[in-house]
């Protein structure tokens, strides 16, 4: 193992984490990570099987004295969100993740870390490897493509799993036991680009906003972090109140489940419009700093003259795309009336991309109430149709309905209170977990989700707390002994 993790506990978990982070594993590119899991199983002479979509389950017999205990599934996903800061040189198709220890946390150097959810997977692998541990019969389930559609969980077929008890290891808060999650869907919008020649005698400018925190579009939506697409189009919309502009391209965001941290629009402007844009940038920079003073410290706005654009969007489309992106719903739509502090419904304006001949927009909607998912998604659809976009909705996944009478929850609560002398927090999360899908496909599955402290998931700020990994590991071992 690399010296970066020498001395960290539990050693096997960190060893596997180091190893798997040497392997590219962006969503839909998990073959290397899958090979690693199968290699561990082969080395340990453990039975495993894989299904048609690429999920793997590895089985391990119970330790001595626990042969009559029910089988427990330990579940995590092998893929990761791949994001990097502007200026970070990293090729996610081939480069290992560069990891650092920083004041009690492990983080990456300018990229996402992939602790979401490799730490959970690696806890399962460590349990497979360490024969000194007491545990019931185990099935370590490693799913694929959780981050871009949960297609792995959706592809699970009846009979693939034997167990009826599952510990999902994909939440990010030590001391909390999660018993429910939001469902969600995607709304994709496209519109053919009506190109025209760029106006003569004008200059081309790149307008960028960056430095925002971004984060997970479910977990962090309540934090009211800035959305780079929304802030950028706010400025350009204001420009359009007094000046004419032509859009040559607009791009921002990277994934449906990440709040956009950066966005850029290329504009063709006359001298008066450029002067007004500079004034607006000077005006909005302190405005944004004030509005987001509690959560955003590094917002930056940059205007730079670039090579002349040959073609631009039509006048109508230039105006429409800015107005639409400025007005499209984003953020918390409703808070739960049943669970204090829980977001019930939200939407994320996630990606805008200028392609060769079309504009592509991606949003995601979440809710713990099935009808509300449809409602907010249809609001986005209606807005898009008014703006002339074709709309496709999909990527749906079900909510995980809490079961407060769960025998597994009772056991986990008892272990926690005995171990720590206090009660665990029982929560639901405004994010999609594979538990909702797995519970629907395997009726009667008793499930809990837990995990160590991870902050900044889905962004280059992602980090996992070292002590928390060991604490959750030791708690997990105690839970397995009690089942």
Q: Are 85 and 110 in contact (CB under 8 A)?
A: yes
Residues marked as catalytic: 79, 146
Q: Are 252 and 228 in contact (CB under 8 A)?
A: yes
- Which residues, 6 or more positions from 332, have their beta carbon under 8 angstroms from its beta carbon? 221, 222, 224, 343, 345, 346
State how far the Cα of 483 lies from the Cα of 475, in Å rounded to an integer. 13
Residue 42 has a CB neighbour count (10 Å cut-off) of 11
193-215 CB burial, b ≥16 within 10 A, e <16 = beeeebbeebbbbbbbbbbbbbb
């Amino acid at each position: 193992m690399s010296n970066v993790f020498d001395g960290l506990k539990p050693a096997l978990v960190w060893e596997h984490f180091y190893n798997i982070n040497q392997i590219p594993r962006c969503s839909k590119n998990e073959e290397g990570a899958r090979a690693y899991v199968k290699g561990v199983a082969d080395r340990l002479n453990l039975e495993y099987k894989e299904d048609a979509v690429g999920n793997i389950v590895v089985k391990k017999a119970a330790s001595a004295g626990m042969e009559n205990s029910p089988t427990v599934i330990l579940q995590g996903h092998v893929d990761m969100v791949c994001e990097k800061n502007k200026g970070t040189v990293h090729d996610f198709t081939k480069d290992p993740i560069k990891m650092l220890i920083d004041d009690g946390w492990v983080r990456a150097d300018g990229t996402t870390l992939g602790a979401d959810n490799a730490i959970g997977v690696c806890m399962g692998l460590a349990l497979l490897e360490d024969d000194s541990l007491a545990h019931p019969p185990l099935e370590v389930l490693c799913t694929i493509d959780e981050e871009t559609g949960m297609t792995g969980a959706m592809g699970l077929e009846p009979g693939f799993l034997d167990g009826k008890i599952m510990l999902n290891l994909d939440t990010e808060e030590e001391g909390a036991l999660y018993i429910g999650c939001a469902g969600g869907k995607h709304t994709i919008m496209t519109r053919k680009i009506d190109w025209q020649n760029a106006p003569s005698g004008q200059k081309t400018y790149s307008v960028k906003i960056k430095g925002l925190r971004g984060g997970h579009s479910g977990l962090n939506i309540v934090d009211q972090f800035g959305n780079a697409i929304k802030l950028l189009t706010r400025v350009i919309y204001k420009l359009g109140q007094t000046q004419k502009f032509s859009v040559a391209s607009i791009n921002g965001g990277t994934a449906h489940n990440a709040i956009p941290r950066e966005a850029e629009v290329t504009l063709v402007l006359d001298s008066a419009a450029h002067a007004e844009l500079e004034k607006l940038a000077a005006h909005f920079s302190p405005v944004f700093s004030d509005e987001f003073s509690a959560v955003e410290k590094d917002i930056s706005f940059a205007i730079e003259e670039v090579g002349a654009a040959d073609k631009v969007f039509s006048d109508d489309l230039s105006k429409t795309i800015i107005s639409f992106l400025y007005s499209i719903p984003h953020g918390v739509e409703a808070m739960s009336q049943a669970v204090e502090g829980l977001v019930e419904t939200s939407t994320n304006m996630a990606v805008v991309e200028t392609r060769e001949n079309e504009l592509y927009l991606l949003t995601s909607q979440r809710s713990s109430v099935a009808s509300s998912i449809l409602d907010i998604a249809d609001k986005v659809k209606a807005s898009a149709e008014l703006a002339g976009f074709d709309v496709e909705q999909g990527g749906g996944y079900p909510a995980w309905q809490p079961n407060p009478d769960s025998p597994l929850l009772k056991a986990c609560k008892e272990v926690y209170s005995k171990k720590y002398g206090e009660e665990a927090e029982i929560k639901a999360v405004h994010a999609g977990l594979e538990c909702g899908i797995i519970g629907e496909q395997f009726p009667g599955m008793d499930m809990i989700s837990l995990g160590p402290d991870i902050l900044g998931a889905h962004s280059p700020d992602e980090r996992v707390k070292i002590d928390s990994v060991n604490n959750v590991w030791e708690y997990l071992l105690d839970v397995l002994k009690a089942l």
